[in-house]
Structure 1
Amino acid sequence: MKRILITGVGGPTPRSFAISLKKYSKFSDVKLFATDVNPLAIGLYQRDLFEKSFVVPLAKASNYWNEIEKIVNENQIDFAVILPEAEVMEWCKKERNSKLPCPAFLPSVEMAELLIDKSRMTEVLNDSGLVPKSVTFDRNISDFSEIFTVLKGNFWVRSSSGTSGLGSLKVEDEEALRNWIQINPNVQTFLASEFLSGRNLACKLLYENGKLLRAACAERVNYIMAKVAPSGITGNTSFGRLLNEPELVDVATKAMDLLFEATNSAKHGFFTVDFKEDADGRPYITEVNVRHVAFTQCFAAGGANFAEATISLLTSDQEFDKSFKMYEFEKDLIFLRDVDNLPIIMKETDLYTKS
């Protein structure tokens, strides 16, 4: 029975990964161990998911690795699943410079650094036609003329790094932009991009040692607690669709080829490519995550269990078919999510209609 460490369990993504294993996979008997930097993180106390839980230092703290290595050694951890971006970066650096305390499924440090910086990623893809028109600017900017010249009309602005739509807003005029910069004092660099009015899509891609093994697509429609964010985007999908769109996979892999080439990296790791379509239905890449995302258990419930696939690779599972597979879902399949409940997978045609 394998013993797996999952980090950052205060966030929904690591808990979603754990549920994908425990509820939907053939690895339901694995023993999972949890870490988080916050002693109030709910995942630390979910005994139905985790055998033991540990509060650890921040990833950049000087004693982080001593604590992680102690946990790995004392609990005989076989593998680690690293999900918060800050920890992904530190584990990637550790893997490049020295031996990890236990195996983990990670991209190259160069790829992780590029993708966490959304401005740099956009710049690499700028000539490919795969990203929207964009302008990166510092919070201390005084002249906004370039932004409004390049991005005529409304545009989307957000932090150039971070997750969950940090600092996101649809901007309509200079006054709104100035005010938004002021009420986001912790954002140093912003990325302004052409506003796209179409669908919000995600394409998940699993690579191993130079080969694409698995892919699947979904649409984000509504967000949990959307009313608390001026943008309406919180990073946690409440209603989404599981899609069969091979054309989207083609666009995503084309972009990833360029990113692997730019970083001189092997095609290895798990990535979530986010898209927004324009009014004509053409998809543009808005970011690429170096990890799973919060609704990974919805994919698993629909038959696309990337958590199981990841563990299959870490365990060198001989039954795992390494031929490429784009997961295909039943037609009309959707998912509904909320904060304290397991997701519901159902047919969209079965939704109630307003009376």
Structure 2
Amino acid sequence: MSKKTVLITGAGGGGSNNLIRSIQRSSYPVRLVGSNADRFILSRSLAERNYLLPRGDSGKGYAEALNRVAAAEKLDLIVANNDTEVRGISAVRDRLDAPVFLPSHATIEMCQDKFTLSSHLEAHGFRMAKTVSIQDLDRVEEAFAQFPDQERLWCRMRKGSGSAGSLPVSKPEQVRFWVKYWQEMRGVPENMFLLSEYLPGRDYAFQSVWKDGQLVLAKTCERVAYLFARLMPSGTSSTPQIGRLVNNPVVNDICTRAVQSIDPHATGMFSIDLKEDRSGLPCITEINIGRFFMITIVFNAVGHHNMAETYLKLAFNQPVEIPASERYDDIGSEETYLIRGIDNEPGVISRSALESSYISLVDEGE
């Protein structure tokens, strides 16, 4: 098979570098080109050749710049790997001289709006965190009154990633201050904020790849500890410091049915965040549509099937054979952990390797 040339956007950033590492771990014959709108981040790219491009949401010759790269590198595929690039590339896909492997634009727009997504899934019978849209700061008390049995609520933005603008709140005045702060300091309008039921339970990342409405492969990581948790107002983030691979049948079922309800012809990546409610039931909180999770490397370090390689094969209409028994459970026979930290390359380690990596002077039970 001839070697394909693939552009990875967001190159140099943690998520895209982890995607590149995952592809390089596979045996797939590919030449990787990178792009980014930030020259400093781009300088850290692991791709073979790199291009400085406009931002995906700039509207300033973005499609034309991508086409110049496509012509110069003879691109076989463009892979968008952050929310801005997914939205920007999807909007101009019909003007591009290289193919993409993305969900429909309507699906992308729905999933990138957390309130629209939540409303859709709730209407289709899914247990969702109760959510109201903040339209008027003078009526925040009315919004709070819709949660009579909740001591703590979750205030967050309806668009964006990385837990930006998220804060646990217990009083209306906290919401007013928080929203006004973002209005005045960052120009975010008040109707961009949501007030939601607080979900206290376990936190899951379900990464799945689809083709023509069929789930091909899915793997799940439970977030166990978080980077910067002590520094974040929320005490958490979407960026785990420690995660572990799991196979949770309830998570599998919820996520699979959710994607099918959103798009019967689902194609590409559906990376889904879930959090358990007080009863222990996982609830979808958002779908990172069209892209891999930043922690994608953990899904490709174990098992028989590399998700990044599977994605490329599907994008190029090449055969993929994954037994039904491994569609959700391709995570190896031993418990596996993801370990991340600032200025360290992400590590993936088995439980036995972890326990043999140190001499313990700690009494059991401490």
Indicate the residue corresponding to 2:250 in structure 1. 247
Matching of residue 44 in structure 1 with residue 17 in structure 2: no
Separation (CA, whole Å) in 2 of partners of 1:102 and 1:44: 24
| Aligned 8 A contact 2:206 2:255 in 1 | yes
RMSD (Å) for aligned C-alpha atoms = 2.0
Indicate the residue corresponding to 2:268 in structure 1. 269
- The equivalent position to 2:106 in structure 1, one of 107, 110, 114, is 110
Q: How many residues align?
A: 342
TM-score with structure 1 setting the length: 0.90
Indicate the residue corresponding to 2:221 in structure 1. 218
- The equivalent position to 1:133 in structure 2, one of 130, 133, 154, is 130
Matching of residue 12 in structure 1 with residue 14 in structure 2: yes
Q: Which moved more, 1:337-346 or 1:81-90?
A: 337-346
Question: What letter matches 1:278 in structure 2?
Answer: D
Separation (CA, whole Å) in 1 of partners of 2:97 and 2:86: 14
Q: CA deviation at 1:105?
A: 1.0
Matching of residue 345 in structure 1 with residue 348 in structure 2: yes
Indicate the residue corresponding to 1:313 in structure 2. 314
User: Taking every aligned residue pair, what percent have the same amino acid on both sides?
Assistant: 28
Cα distance change on mapping 1:141 and 1:10 into 2, 3 Å = farther
Cα distance change on mapping 1:44 and 1:310 into 2, 3 Å = farther
| Aligned 8 A contact 2:137 2:176 in 1 | no
| Aligned 8 A contact 1:25 1:305 in 2 | yes
Deviations 1:230-270 (A, max 9, x none): 1133432110110011221111111112212xxxx522121
Equivalent residues in 2 for 1:1-355 (5 A)? 1-22=3-24, 24-27=25-28, 29-41=29-41, 43-46=42-45, 49-60=46-57, 61-95=59-93, 98-127=94-123, 128-138=125-135, 140-152=136-148, 153-185=151-183, 186=186, 187-188=188-189, 189-260=192-263, 266-290=265-289, 291-303=291-303, 305-318=306-319, 320-321=320-321, 324=324, 325-329=327-331, 330-348=333-351, 350=354, 354=362
Q: CA deviation at 1:282?
A: 0.7
Separation (CA, whole Å) in 1 of partners of 2:147 and 2:31: 51
Question: What letter matches 2:30 in structure 1?
Answer: V
| Aligned 8 A contact 2:268 2:311 in 1 | no
Separation (CA, whole Å) in 2 of partners of 1:165 and 1:100: 31
Q: Say which SS state the counterpart of residue 104 (structure 1) adopts.
A: coil
Separation (CA, whole Å) in 2 of partners of 1:73 and 1:268: 26
Q: Which consecutive aligned stretches of 4+ in structure 1 deviate over 6 angstroms post-superposition? A: none
Question: What letter matches 2:80 in structure 1?
Answer: I
Separation (CA, whole Å) in 2 of partners of 1:50 and 1:256: 31
Separation (CA, whole Å) in 2 of partners of 1:244 and 1:310: 20
> Which stretches in structure 1 are left out of the alignment for 5+ residues?
none
Separation (CA, whole Å) in 2 of partners of 1:294 and 1:240: 12
Separation (CA, whole Å) in 2 of partners of 1:327 and 1:7: 29
Separation (CA, whole Å) in 2 of partners of 1:307 and 1:327: 16
Deviations 1:251-309 (A, max 9, x none): 1111112212xxxx522121011111023211111011112111000111123521111
> Which stretches in structure 2 are left out of the alignment for 5+ residues?
none
Question: What letter matches 2:271 in structure 1?
Answer: T
Q: CA deviation at 1:10?
A: 4.3
Q: CA deviation at 1:348?
A: 4.4
